[in-house]
Amino acid sequence: MRCPFCENPDTRVIDSRPTEEGHAIRRRRECDGCSKRFTTYEKVEGIVLMVIKKDGSREAFDRNKVLNGIIKACEKRPVPIDSMEKIVDEIERGLNNMMEKEIESKLIGEVLMEHLKKLDEVAYVRFASVYRQFKDVNTFVAEIEKLLGKDKKNEVIADEK
């Protein structure tokens, strides 16, 4: 590590400890040339995940865009922000675990809708209406009937047990 004061390439680590979050290591260093001390941080370099959009263009994955979509879908609903952030964390972790450098936006949208369906059905329908570009009321009704039909099937199965 090069000294930021005198540019000497010879420095040594005098203290090393994890950061509070545990995602990096803080190192205190001392320059062998000028004896000044400085701090560096070491962390794992993340994979830059590119999203392939519907029009074929590509952009870097932005967790804030996903979170903002969830916030809009959950507006005026009894859904805590912690639950929304947890969904984004799970989606991001799942995408990174796929070890792909490029992911289609369609996959992200579908995974997000599955999470919203479990979290809040109204938020799910709101998000689906924008994501799937519902053209009219009949499309809304069809999506709601899918939700209700699924619940009715689950109730019948639960009653049979």
Domain count across the chain:
2
Higher pLDDT, 141 or 78: 78
- Domain check: are 38 and 54 in the same one? no
Domain encompassing residue 32? 11-43
In whole angstroms, give the CA distance from residue 41 to residue 97.
Answer: 24
Contact indicator for 8, 2 with CB cutoff of 8 Å:
yes
151 has pLDDT over 60: no
Which distant-in-sequence residues (6+ apart) come within 8 Å of 86 by Cβ?
A: none
| Predicted TM-score of the model (pTM) | 0.61
The DSSP result for 88-130, as a single string, is HHHHHHHHHHTT-SEEEHHHHHHHHHHHHHHH-HHHHHHHHHH
Written as six digits, the tokens of 132 are: 């799937």
- Domain check: are 31 and 71 in the same one? no
155 has pLDDT over 60: no
User: Does a structural domain hold residue 60?
Assistant: yes
* pLDDT value for 153: 46
User: Does a structural domain hold residue 1?
Assistant: no
The 10s digit of each residue's pLDDT in 5-61 is 999 999 999 999 998 777 789 999 999 999 999 999 998 777 789 999 999 999 999
* pLDDT value for 69: 94
| Best CA proximity match to 72, nearest among 36, 7, 114, 124 | 124
Place of tokens 């010879």: 10
Average pLDDT, the chain: 87
